[in-house]
Structure 1
Amino acid sequence: MTSAVLTQSPATARPRLVSRALLLRFVSIVGSSIGFFLPLSVVPIFAKQAGSDSGAGFATVALLLATVAAELVTPRLIARIGYRWALTVGLFLLGAPILVLTATNSMTAIVVVNIVRGTGFAIVAVAGGAVTATLIPAERRGEGLAIVGLVSGVPSLLALPAGVWAAQRWGCEPVFVVTAAATLLALLSVPGLPRRDRTRTESQHGVLAGLRNSALTRPALIFTAATAAAGVVVTFLPLAMLNGPAWVATTALLVQSTAATAVRWFAGKLGDRHGALRLLAPGLLLTALGMASMAALDSPAAVIGGAALFGAGFGVLQNATLCLMYARVPAGGEGTVSAIWNAAYDLGMAAGALGAGLAVGAIGYPATFLLTAALAVPAFAVLRRERNPR
């Protein structure tokens, strides 16, 4: 009787979540996060020190545009050379080129290096995301992706300010060397990942086919509404608070990113138990309420509380939309999902920042934040058309 109670049937046992292969994948996740975020704000500083104020912004734009363009073609690269080789190429392109900036500060070199690095980051994000999806049991995908988000989120959260601090203390060149070292050392983990070479499914379900599949584009569009709002927050909340206490904007951004990272964990566990589709409406509602609350710029409590609500909603939507999209493709289609989701992330943030930049001058910051909150309305219209996949 006792043994029957204590022994769990294999049929009811939950599959193991963290495997040796997933731990190895964490190494490349941390390496690529450091490789992207550590110099992200340092390169514009480097360009400004070289005497080009406009070049500082242009370098970042070049990085982001190259990232989005490469994300859309990476699934075809995966189909040709496989996940491991694609991840290897991406890590090399992300890390090695920045060493060029230790020898020259020409604006041409800065822009070219950023274009190459953006391409590398896109390949790492798409190919790495596809590999990660294959390493997580489908029954625990939400929880697994939440852990992955934590592994990537903490280094990026720390690396961005650390890069600026180190550049101010020791100069930009040491930051570039550390960036290259962290990224290239992550290459050592790639051979330990499972071999996934030349998948016919990936080539049959490329980005163009994925964009014609409404089961993928609907979650991506819903997520785009949230990322557009995130672009507004990270770009214009500090500017909106310039005449107020300096600590409010900093605290709000920290609270927002922390809430997003933490809530992804709970969202993943809930999604595994009850279905990710049920989380989309609460996620959208939280992001809208958070944006509307941040419009009360005269109230630090409203701004910080709104940032917490927005971060929570954003974390929910990050996890739920990605889980839904992975569940709706056959094996081998993970690269397509990763490409579309990452493109929605980057394009949404860029579009939100651009649109808000045009609106702020005409209607001011509070009205712009309220208008951004209203993006939830068309997103809810898309959500109404969502149906559980067969």
Structure 2
Amino acid sequence: MTTLTQTDPQPQTGTGQAAARIVSRPLALVFLAEFCALSSFYLLVSVTPVYAATAGSGGAGLVTGVLLAGTVVAELASAVVMRRFAHRSVLVAGALLLGVPALLLHPGSALGVIVAVSLVRGIGFGLSTVVAGALTAMLLPPERRGEGLGLYGVVATAPGIVALPLGVWLAGHFGGSVVILATAVTALVPLAGLPWLPGGEDRGAREAAADAQPTPLLESIRRSGQIRLALIFASTTVAAGIVVSFLPLAAGVSGGLAAAGLLAQSLTATVSRWWAGRFGDRHGHARLLAPSLLLSALALGAMLWPTSAVAVLVGMSLFGVGFGIVQNATFALMIERMPSAEAGTASALWNLAFDAGYGAGPAAFGLVVGHTGYPAAFIMTGAVMLAAVPAAGSRAGRTTRRA
């Protein structure tokens, strides 16, 4: 039975002491599962709205909303589910719910079928991402957890850069059926490594933990440190959702410039997320929060000059740097504050903050931008992050004093 420990031989440092190794075979399989889950999600996320638009009025927005609703439902329930069932079982269930329902789709599917499939796939996606984050945290050596979470961030970011445009390209050149098949196969690939997947923990220990603490997610919300971290993170995901949704629509920003800006934001966020893990392991993750929030907020000031390619590219690059740092620092701090058995709760809360902010931001921005215009609305978005800086700074100060 696979255990949640590092068992691979450890390399030796120059002092002769064993250095903690980040990537073991179980962790590599978890990384593969996360990469496949996100790739499956992104391959189809831009194709189903096209199917839905032809099946019924308003269907395009409905399927995306239902997909995210299923994701949020799964994230709310995942902490309790992982206390009742082995992590391996939850990971398998997520892969099946994400992959198998996609095979029910075809270019002529009725709107009801598309909506139902999207809901089930959202649940599978939510379970997959939360349990992968929890397993990653549990399998990493504590002294290198931040760096390991940074690598996890690289794995989680890559599908958005590759699979999202790939799904649209495949649908345009080979038809939607090819995308559907690729989506299902990609989601189910991790099942080939089932015998080596981690998560075979003792059933009795899970049941005892569940009886002692039946609502771990609600209890974590009551802990002021955890909910503060979630709100700090959500302030940046609000901005990230707005940038992705509205940069291509902003007056004065050409289609090519918007694409280049979003690519720059994705790449810098990926690199900075890994760097933040290395820095945080050595100097503390809390001290990264306030500077990265400030950087992200000020970067949106570049949108005062939307017709300037330099301003947009520099602004989006700096926003990506700040966003990547906040992603890694908040996740690492959430994991640190929880017992190892409750890593699933921290992962669920972090993912919930991500999706809630990512969805709420564009909805609110859309109501405001018609009255203010794009430059002012982007500045207001930066102000939301600035409002979170004092909370992030006070947390860093308390952490430093305790040290």
Q: TM-score range by the shorter chain?
A: over 0.9
Q: Does 1:95 align with 2:83?
A: no
| Structure 2 counterpart of 1:250, from 240, 246, 259 | 259
Deviates more, 1:25-34 or 1:161-170: 25-34
2:5 is aligned to none
Distance (Å, rounded) in 1 between the aligned partners of 2:73 and 2:261: 31
Superposed displacement of residue 20, structure 1: 1.0
1:376 is aligned to 385
Alignment of 1:202-213 (within 5 A): 204=213, 206-213=216-223
Q: Does 1:325 align with 2:329?
A: no
Alignment of 1:126-205 (within 5 A): 126-194=130-198, 195-198=200-203, 199=206, 200-201=208-209, 204=213
Superposed displacement of residue 344, structure 1: 0.3
Please say if residues 47 and 56 of structure 1, whose CA atoms lie closer than 8 Å, have aligned partners that are also in contact: yes
Distance (Å, rounded) in 1 between the aligned partners of 2:38 and 2:353: 19
TM-score, normalised to structure 1, is 0.94
Please say if residues 25 and 190 of structure 1, whose CA atoms lie closer than 8 Å, have aligned partners that are also in contact: no
Q: Does 1:84 align with 2:88?
A: yes
1:33 is aligned to 38
Distance (Å, rounded) in 2 between the aligned partners of 1:140 and 1:272: 6
Superposed displacement of residue 201, structure 1: 4.2
Please say if residues 101 and 176 of structure 1, whose CA atoms lie closer than 8 Å, have aligned partners that are also in contact: yes
Change (3 A) 1:191 1:295: farther
Q: Secondary structure at the match of 2:201?
A: coil
Q: Does 1:222 align with 2:226?
A: no
Q: Secondary structure at the match of 2:190?
A: helix
Amino acid at match of 2:29: L
Change (3 A) 1:99 1:175: same
Superposed displacement of residue 351, structure 1: 1.2
Superposed displacement of residue 219, structure 1: 1.2
Amino acid at match of 1:8: T
Amino acid at match of 2:301: A
Superposed displacement of residue 93, structure 1: 0.3
Query: After superposition, what is the alpha-carbon deviation per residue over 1:88-131, rounded to whole angstroms, capped at 9, x for unaligned?
Result: 10110011101000385100000000000000000001111111
Q: Does 1:8 align with 2:15?
A: yes
1:235 is aligned to 245
CA RMSD of aligned residues (A): 1.8
TM-score, normalised to structure 2, is 0.91
Distance (Å, rounded) in 2 between the aligned partners of 1:106 and 1:133: 41
Q: Does 1:75 align with 2:53?
A: no
| Structure 2 counterpart of 1:347, from 347, 351, 356 | 356
Distance (Å, rounded) in 1 between the aligned partners of 2:13 and 2:346: 41
Deviates more, 1:147-156 or 1:255-264: 147-156
Superposed displacement of residue 218, structure 1: 1.2
1:21 is aligned to 26
Superposed displacement of residue 178, structure 1: 0.7
Q: Secondary structure at the match of 2:261?
A: helix
Deviates more, 1:97-106 or 1:172-181: 97-106
Change (3 A) 1:109 1:197: farther
Deviates more, 1:343-352 or 1:52-61: 52-61
Query: After superposition, what is the alpha-carbon deviation per residue over 1:24-69, rounded to whole angstroms, capped at 9, x for unaligned?
Result: 1122122111111111101111222x34341011000000111112
Please say if residues 46 and 167 of structure 2, whose CA atoms lie closer than 8 Å, have aligned partners that are also in contact: yes
Unpaired runs of 5+ residues, structure 2, are 1-11
Distance (Å, rounded) in 2 between the aligned partners of 1:355 and 1:224: 14
Amino acid at match of 1:172: G
